[in-house]
Amino acid sequence: MRISEVYSENKLPVSFEIFPPKGEMDISALREMLDGITGTDPAYVSVTCSAGGTGNSRNTAALAGVIQNEYHIPSVAHITCINSTPFDVDSYVEEIKNKGISNVLALRGDRVPGKTTSSFNYASDLISYLKRTTDFCIGAGCYPEGHVECESFDEDIEHLREKQDAGADFLISQLFFDNQAFFRFIDKIRDRGITIPIDAGIMPIMGKSQITRMIFLCGASMPASVVRMLNKYEDDTQSLIKAGMEFAAKQALEIAESGMANGIHFYCMNKPEVASYEMKAIRDAGY
């Protein structure tokens, strides 16, 4: 199923992101994780390019293929372009197609010092290329508080409009912890004529170092309530994880009630217990 079709078949599609292991992938070793996450019956599962989130990987296509063909859940294979040539992209596309995958998330990817590309400088370049050369359903990333490399929020909105104009079919947002910032973002992009569906990306807090690292990388603001949570449970890992999952569920439910997002996408860090908790919270609320 194409992700663009998911929105018409679900009141509120709930999906998860997972990442493949580095090195050789042993599917049998991943079964417990896959069983737990797919057992929650998500609308789809996206698979990053690597455990670190950078660089295309054979493991991405392989893992996405297992989800699609063995678990019969739509999968989205991430594809990055910043250090790729058209030949690289074509080769990876062929691998994805051979797995029966019809959905991709087209991203620029992280810059590698000393390497440049003249073919794909931005995600919009990759989206345009894929639109011309494939029949994929194409997703794109968006940043509720702006991309850290962008000079201004308005400039980032213009880049997002370019992704839609290039052929993006849906959006998945970067993580955020301030729902008001997300709501302002939605108002802004809709005013700019960005009309494609958007899933709110939510990452449950699993640890203080994890979240501070992610905030530094993506530029998300940290509300006072999150700061208090981190300080309160700094030396109590299990209580912090529980509080983090509860906070994420509250975020998701507030967004669901607002009607301003087309779906919820949890960055569940390959943890089935997180996926189960968040899905139950949403379903118990009637979504």
Residues carrying an active site annotation: 17
173 forms bridges with which residues in the sheet? 142
Nearest by Cα to 16 from 274, 189, 259, 261: 274
- Amino acid present at 147: H
Contact 199, 169 (CB under 8 A): no
**How far, CA to CA in Å, does 187 sit from each of 144, 157, 181?**
11, 11, 10
**How far, CA to CA in Å, does 249 sit from each of 12, 135, 244?**
14, 35, 9
**How far, CA to CA in Å, does 92 sit from each of 21, 25, 83?**
18, 17, 13
- CA–CA gap between residue 125 and residue 146 (Å, rounded): 19
Tokens 């078949």 label which residue?
9
Nearest by Cα to 157 from 123, 103, 193: 193
- CA–CA gap between residue 183 and residue 144 (Å, rounded): 8
Helix axis angle, 179-191 relative to 153-166, nearest 10°?
A: 60
Radius of gyration for the alpha carbons in the chain, expressed in angstroms and rounded: 18
